[in-house]
């Protein structure tokens, strides 16, 4: 029987230990106190012998996010640590072995963890092993911090309560908020206890330290570890660690209004857990940086090579390498420290913050002391935010350009706190949904607005690296690898070279032993072969292309904060564009206003005084900053068209019984004339603003007109959304037809609505009223029609991308038909192509979710040449929609349901996209492959679309203005933000060019960088192979290259050409074919292998040709000499010198991705000098030079000319192979023949759709329950 007794709970003894003898016997009444102690001590050891496999299984942290990691627990094992040390000492040769082991363990800390610790359940771990989604390993130490609690009955504050409830050893009494011990349910938890022997020896068993356990009467212990500036704490309810969060996505909105300020003691307790509110950027000392750099594998290999060359008497060469390495390290250390200092200065923020302590008590404290839950006040004249905080009183005008790239100031309003209905869950704060009510760390508060003398208050929700700014800095400090195949293939190629090094090592040992060399010479020569075959400059050669491309982009006004993205952008296959401000002009021109009961009014100032004019004058977020009106461009145009005046709060503005509302009023003279009746001026005060929300697609204001007792609500937004909020009878019957007339022309249409609030609602109710209470039962007022012209650069750029076979997609928050019209006008959708609207509806009224497929309307070719134009009539005109529209000479017709002649494109709204993702997930790939227009998309949906496209194998670029596109810009392989800022953390690329011309520029430079990287990598690989063949050939006769010869090859030739190969600029035109993205691509493999064969043929051929000469005298090896001065070494050196130069030129390809080779002037000068000097050494080296380089001078001149002829022939063959064979379309087609099935999913889908003429089912409805059946029948 396993259970011997039932534990009713431990009791705390006066001396602080835990007594576990309070038990109820189950079967043995004589079960002794000593036996129970024995089990307490034995069972944890038994658990080590028979571990719980389920508890030891890896656990996922941050599941479903880009920070997802597997977490495994490890604990100290003294036996394994001692055994590891003994093996290292015995097998590695004493101290040398220990040093090597320390180096390896530094490079691979996961190996150290496995070698010295044992796997264990997470609840016993003192260290964790982490594996991220990129298969990178990390190790962290588990520590304990102690959080003070109230001395009286261990009272626990609300913020710590969730952690207590997760504890296996203690629970929180919901009534008293006090900690009590839980009853144990298994023996495994007994190990949480501390036991004191009778003789006074104390043993603390801590294998299962809980998240929060009482160590004494005044504090709780919390197990945690820190990883990449994020803290993870132990949650015993899930038996894993969880990321420490602030007061974000699980906090009820009502909590923030109940916050009454924290005491200093409560703040200090939180400070223990959350730490300082700083975004700490460590600036390491030069000495520490030096040690870390020297211990880098690259420099360790360099040190090893220098020692080896010195042992081989290559002192000059070794000294030069040391000098170059010292200079390189010095420059690198300076750059690293400078970047760290720059980043530190950027994020550094030292400011005093006023914290509310409750009542009338306020205290100024350093910003570093803020913790989540603090209530702070925002000064009237603004400040730089030191944390993320939720606004609960007053308004703030904020500049968020540093975070989003959006230069237009944003108005922040108090967080709504809807009352909790009976049986309803409380409304929760959501970071994305409530961003208009959140002040983010690092943003500049320009001004504040407050009422009635009340301070502008905000509740701190996130601090330090938990804040929005902290997360962005984390993304800079710890960038996520993109998984680009180029780097993966480079590592595979290095493995191949390492294999060749092993072969060369073995051959060298064999040859040197056959020549009866000493043990020292055998070891030195064999190890020297490793330094030959694995070039130490290879990592630098791989990145040189992106470094030069980054400089060229900067000259074009495009800034890049992530150089590896440049190479990836060269593989771009699809570009997503935002519409407003990206494809179209930022500024909008008011075309006219269409009231609900009259014809078109072209001049808004001509509207009669009434709700529509008042809505245009007041429903906006404009503000005055230093006397200049700023805000959304649409709001600016709308307000300017009314000819009204906006006044900011001032000391005399007290007419509304409150302090300082924003006032709007007409500027015409008659509105200010006070007659005999003392007529009240016509002025409107804006009392409350509900800012624009992308998800709600609307904004509204509550106003009061001077002299009126009631207040009004004005609302503007997407016409479809506004109409749905209005009383049905007030929406004109021709609403949808009239809306279609304008959106089909590409106009941007905004709708207005209005209602009068009940007089019982007073001002003090406004700050707590919810927007869904006032944004209902509205009266429809009319439409505002805005002209949003395409930027002049848009259409040529889209055509340029189309000609390059790069797909273009529009992702916008605007109206569907407006977006389709813009897509046609800019060339995304060609005139012969067809647009299919995909409308999806969620389940409702007992009907399942369904998708309808309908053809969109578009202009006929015949209409494009018709002349007469008609002005759109009023709401009830009912005119024929096929008649030409105003100023555009175009007409529209409904396309009959038939097979389209051109390509078809899907147009999907954000609402439909969400329904399809939830109920028709199998359709998402098809929608993405043929989708061109995605309208009414929220910021989250834009990022989801980019992810879906990436899942299909597209290399996706995203171009937007940064405001609502941050998520998509960061998700895309190449996110390009159009911003005036020099660099924005919102995206990898930031363009000062305010149009999409930057997109082809980034792609062209990416292609050039990619080709440069390929060329440099192939050159370094061939350089190693050439030197490998040269050395192997000379080893066969017990000779080698001389010190100066190595110096000339490695420094004068290889370093020079590798440095300037990347100076070739990008080709000015985009071509349809993309460069290969993999080193293992058949074309690249063919190039490398063919050049290896040619190189071996030339080196071996000239060596054999030398031996056939009648004057040739073979080398007689001298065991006491290096045997360098001989005919064989001279020929091998002279021929190989040419090979390095010729291969560098051959791999510096020009068209179609880079400008021709001859345009790289510096590189060409270097080639000419090196070729001239090599020719001098081959044909006629003067005596002093020959002696210095150790060359034979008595070779016949005709033999030298023959060698030059062979080299010339080789040069011709090399260029023919590279420029005519490798680059030929014939070879590419031959390689494609073996690709029977495309690797990318989108190509397979394109093929499937092309072969299925019955899909999509236009004119039909697809229901969720029938989806799989329909797909099977259609396929």
Residues involved in catalysis: 578
Euclidean distance between CA atoms 478 and 142, whole angstroms: 21
Which residues, 6+ apart, have CB-to-CB distance to 233 below 8 Å?
A: 163, 211, 222, 223, 224, 241, 242, 244, 273
Task: Kindly provide the residue ranges of all beta strands, DSSP E only, lying in 46-178, ordered along the sequence.
Answer: 59-61, 69-76, 117-120, 127-132, 137-141, 143-148, 170-172
Euclidean distance between CA atoms 1018 and 1061, whole angstroms: 12
- Do 413 and 691 form a contact (C-beta atoms < 8 A)? yes
Among residues 1067, 1060, 1063, the alpha carbon closest in space to that of 1154 is found at 1067
Q: Which secondary structure element, helix H or strand E, spans residue 992, and what is its range?
A: none
The neighbouring-strand residues paired with 7 are 23
- Do 1036 and 767 form a contact (C-beta atoms < 8 A)? no
Written as six digits, the tokens of 167 are 């504890």
Which residues, 6+ apart, have CB-to-CB distance to 36 below 8 Å?
A: 5, 20, 21, 23
Q: Which secondary structure element, helix H or strand E, spans residue 557, and what is its range?
A: none
Among residues 361, 388, 356, 352, the alpha carbon closest in space to that of 372 is found at 388
Among residues 203, 433, 477, 460, the alpha carbon closest in space to that of 340 is found at 477
Written as six digits, the tokens of 882 are 């096929």
Peptide bond into 1022 cis (omega under 30): no
Distances (CA, A) of 1269 to 915, 1255, 1274: 19, 14, 9
For β-strands 213-214 and 202-204, DSSP reports them as unpaired
Euclidean distance between CA atoms 391 and 395, whole angstroms: 8
- Do 558 and 998 form a contact (C-beta atoms < 8 A)? yes
Residue corresponding to tokens 């400040």: 383
How far, rounded to the nearest angstrom, does the alpha carbon of residue 429 sit from its chain's CA centroid? 24
How far, rounded to the nearest angstrom, does the alpha carbon of residue 953 sit from its chain's CA centroid? 18
Residue corresponding to tokens 């937004």: 717
- Rounded to 5°, the CA angle 713-717-720 comes to 115
Euclidean distance between CA atoms 582 and 588, whole angstroms: 13
Buried b (16+ CB within 10 A) or exposed e, 596-618: beeebbeebeebeeebbbbbbbb
Euclidean distance between CA atoms 917 and 912, whole angstroms: 9
- Do 1042 and 1129 form a contact (C-beta atoms < 8 A)? yes
Give the number of other Cβ atoms within 10 Å of residue 286's Cβ. 12
Euclidean distance between CA atoms 853 and 845, whole angstroms: 21
Euclidean distance between CA atoms 181 and 168, whole angstroms: 9
Euclidean distance between CA atoms 447 and 648, whole angstroms: 11
**Which ranges of 515-647 would DSSP assign to H, the alpha helix?**
519-533, 538-555, 564-569, 611-618, 633-642
Please classify residue 164 by burial: count the beta carbons closer than 10 Å to its beta carbon, then call 0-12 exposed, 13-18 middle and 19+ buried: buried
Give the number of other Cβ atoms within 10 Å of residue 63's Cβ. 9
Euclidean distance between CA atoms 1266 and 921, whole angstroms: 13
């Amino acid at each position: 029987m396993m259970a011997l007794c039932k534990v009713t709970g431990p009791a705390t003894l006066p001396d602080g230990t835990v007594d576990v003898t309070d038990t109820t016997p189950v079967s043995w009444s004589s079960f002794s106190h000593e036996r129970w102690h024995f089990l307490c001590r034995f069972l944890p050891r038994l658990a080590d012998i028979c571990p719980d496999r389920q508890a030891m299984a890896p656990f996922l942290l941050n599941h479903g996010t880009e920070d997802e990691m597997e977490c495994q627990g490890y604990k100290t094992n003294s036996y394994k640590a001692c055994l590891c040390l003994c093996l290292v000492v015995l097998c590695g040769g004493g101290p040398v072995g220990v040093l090597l082991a320390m180096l390896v363990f530094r490079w691979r800390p996961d190996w150290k963890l496995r070698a010295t610790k044992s796997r264990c359940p997470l609840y016993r771990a003192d260290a964790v092993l982490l594996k991220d989604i990129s298969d990178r390993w990390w190790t962290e130490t588990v520590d304990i911090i102690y959080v003070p609690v109230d001395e009286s009955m261990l009272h626990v504050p609300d913020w710590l309560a969730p952690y207590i409830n997760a504890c296996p050893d203690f629970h929180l009494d919901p009534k008293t908020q006090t900690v009590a011990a839980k009853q144990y349910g298994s023996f495994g938890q007994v190990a949480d206890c501390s036991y004191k022997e009778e003789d006074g020896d104390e043993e603390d068993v801590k294998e299962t330290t809980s998240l929060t356990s009482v160590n004494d009467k005044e504090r709780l212990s919390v197990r945690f570890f820190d990883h990449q500036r994020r803290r993870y704490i132990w949650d015993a309810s899930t038996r894993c660690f969880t990321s420490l969060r602030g007061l974000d996505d699980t906090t009820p909105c009502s909590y923030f209004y109940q916050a009454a300020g924290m005491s200093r003691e409560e703040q200090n307790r939180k400070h223990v857990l959350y730490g300082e509110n700083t975004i700490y950027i460590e600036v390491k000392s030069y000495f520490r940086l030096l040690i870390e750099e020297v211990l880098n594998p690259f420099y360790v290999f360099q040190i090893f090579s220098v020692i080896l060359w010195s042992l081989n008497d290559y002192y000059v060469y070794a000294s030069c390498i040391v000098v170059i390495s010292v200079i390189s390290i010095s420059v690198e250390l300076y750059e690293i420290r400078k970047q760290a200092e720059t980043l530190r200065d950027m994020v550094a923020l030292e400011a005093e913050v006023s914290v509310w302590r409750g009542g009338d008590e306020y205290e100024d404290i350093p910003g570093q002391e803020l913790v989540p839950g603090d209530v702070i006040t925002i000064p009237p004249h603004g400040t730089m935010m030191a944390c993320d905080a939720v606004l609960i009183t007053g308004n703030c005008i904020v500049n968020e350009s540093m975070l989003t790239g959006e230069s237009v100031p944003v108005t922040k309003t108090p967080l709504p706190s809807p009352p909790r209905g009976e049986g309803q869950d409380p409304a929760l704060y959501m970071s994305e949904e409530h961003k208009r009510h959140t002040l983010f760390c690092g943003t500049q508060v320009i001004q504040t607005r407050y009422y009635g003398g009340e301070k502008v208050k905000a509740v701190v929700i996130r601090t330090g690296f938990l804040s929005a700014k902290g997360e962005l800095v984390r993304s800079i400090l710890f960038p996520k690898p993109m998984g680009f195949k180029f780097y993966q293939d480079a590592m595979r190629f290095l493995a191949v070279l390492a294999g060749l090094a092993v072969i060369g090592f073995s051959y060298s040992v064999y040859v040197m032993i056959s020549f009866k060399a000493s043990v020292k010479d055998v070891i030195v020569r064999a190890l020297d072969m490793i330094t030959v075959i694995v070039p130490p400059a290879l990592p630098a050669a791989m990145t040189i292309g992106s470094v030069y491309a980054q400089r060229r982009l900067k000259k074009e006004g495009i800034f890049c904060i992530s150089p590896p993205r440049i190479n990836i952008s060269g593989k771009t296959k699809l570009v997503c564009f935002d519409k407003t401000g990206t494809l179209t002009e930022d500024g909008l021109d008011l075309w006219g206003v269409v009231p609900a009961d009259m014809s078109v009014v072209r001049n808004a100032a001509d509207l009669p005084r009434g709700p529509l004019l008042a809505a245009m004058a007041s429903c906006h977020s404009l503000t005055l900053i230093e006397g200049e009106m700023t805000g959304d461009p649409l709001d600016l145009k709308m307000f300017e068209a009314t000819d009204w005046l906006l006044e900011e709060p001032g000391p005399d503005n007290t007419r509304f019984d409150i302090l300082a509302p924003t006032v709007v009023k007409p500027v015409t003279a008659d509105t200010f004339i006070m007659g005999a009746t003392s007529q009240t001026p016509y002025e409107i005060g804006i009392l409350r603003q509900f800012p624009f929300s992308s998800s709600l697609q609307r904004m509204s204001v509550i106003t009061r007109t001077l002299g009126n007792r009631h207040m009004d609500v004005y609302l503007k937004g997407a016409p479809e959304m506004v109409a749905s909020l209005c009383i049905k009878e007030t929406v004109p019957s021709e609403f949808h037809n009239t809306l279609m007339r304008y959106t089909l022309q590409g106009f941007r249409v905004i709708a207005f609505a209005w209602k009068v609030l009940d007089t019982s609602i007073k001002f003090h109710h406004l700050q707590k009223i919810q927007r869904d209470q006032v944004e209902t039962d509205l009266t429809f007022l009319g439409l505002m029609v805005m002209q949003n012209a395409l930027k002049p650069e848009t259409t040529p750029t889209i055509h340029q991308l189309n000609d390059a076979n790069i797909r273009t997609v529009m992702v916008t928050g605007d109206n569907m038909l407006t977006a389709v019209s813009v897509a046609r006008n800019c060339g995304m959708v060609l005139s012969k192509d067809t647009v299919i609207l995909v409308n999806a509806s969620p389940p409702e009224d007992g009907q399942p979710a369904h998708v309808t497929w309908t053809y969109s309307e578009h202009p006929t070719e015949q209409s494009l040449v018709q002349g007469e134009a008609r002005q759109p009539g009023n709401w009830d005109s009912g005119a024929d929609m096929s008649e030409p529209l105003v100023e555009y000479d175009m007409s529209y017709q409904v396309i009959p349901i038939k097979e389209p002649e051109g390509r078809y494109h899907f147009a999907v709204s954000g609402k439909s996209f969400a329904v399809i993702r939830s109920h028709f997930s199998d359709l998402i790939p098809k929608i993405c492959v043929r989708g061109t227009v995605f309208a009414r998309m929220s910021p989250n949906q834009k990022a989801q679309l980019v992810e879906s496209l990436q899942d299909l194998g597209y290399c996706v670029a995203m171009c937007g203005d940064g405001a609502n596109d941050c998520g998509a810009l960061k998700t895309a392989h190449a996110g390009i933000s159009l911003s005036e800022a020099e660099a924005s953390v919102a995206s990898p690329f930031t363009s000062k060019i305010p149009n999409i011309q930057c997109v082809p520029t980034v792609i062209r430079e990416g292609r050039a960088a990619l080709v440069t990287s390929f060329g440099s990598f192939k050159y370094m690989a061939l350089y190693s192979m050439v030197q490998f063949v040269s050395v192997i050939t000379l080893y066969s006769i017990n000779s080698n290259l001389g010190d100066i010869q190595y110096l000339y090859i490695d420094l004068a030739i290889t370093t020079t050409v590798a440095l300037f190969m990347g100076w070739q600029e990008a080709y000015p035109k985009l071509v349809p074919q993309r460069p290969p993205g993999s080193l293992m691509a058949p074309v690249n493999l063919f190039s490398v292998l063919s050049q290896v064969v040619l190189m071996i043929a030339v080196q071996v051929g000239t060596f054999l040709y030398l031996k056939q000469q009648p004057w040739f005298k073979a080398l007689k090896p001298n065991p006491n000499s290096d045997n360098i001065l001989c005919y064989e070494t001279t020929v091998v050196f002279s021929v190989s010198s040419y090979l390095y130069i010729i291969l560098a030129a051959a791999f510096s390809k020009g068209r179609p991705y880079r400008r021709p080779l001859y345009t790289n002037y510096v590189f060409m000068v270097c080639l000419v000098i090196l070729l001239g000097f090599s020719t001098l050494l081959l044909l006629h080296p003067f005596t002093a030079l020959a002696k210095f380089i150790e060359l034979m001078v008595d070779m016949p001149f005709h033999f030298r000319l023959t060698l030059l002829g062979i080299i010339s022939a080789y040069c011709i063959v090399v260029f023919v192979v590279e420029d005519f064979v490798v680059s030929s379309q014939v070879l590419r087609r031959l390689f494609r023949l073996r690709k029977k099935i495309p690797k990318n999913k989108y190509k397979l889908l394109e093929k499937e759709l092309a072969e299925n003429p019955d899909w999509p089912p236009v004119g039909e409805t697809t229901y969720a329950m029938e989806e799989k059946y329909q797909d099977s029948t259609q396929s």
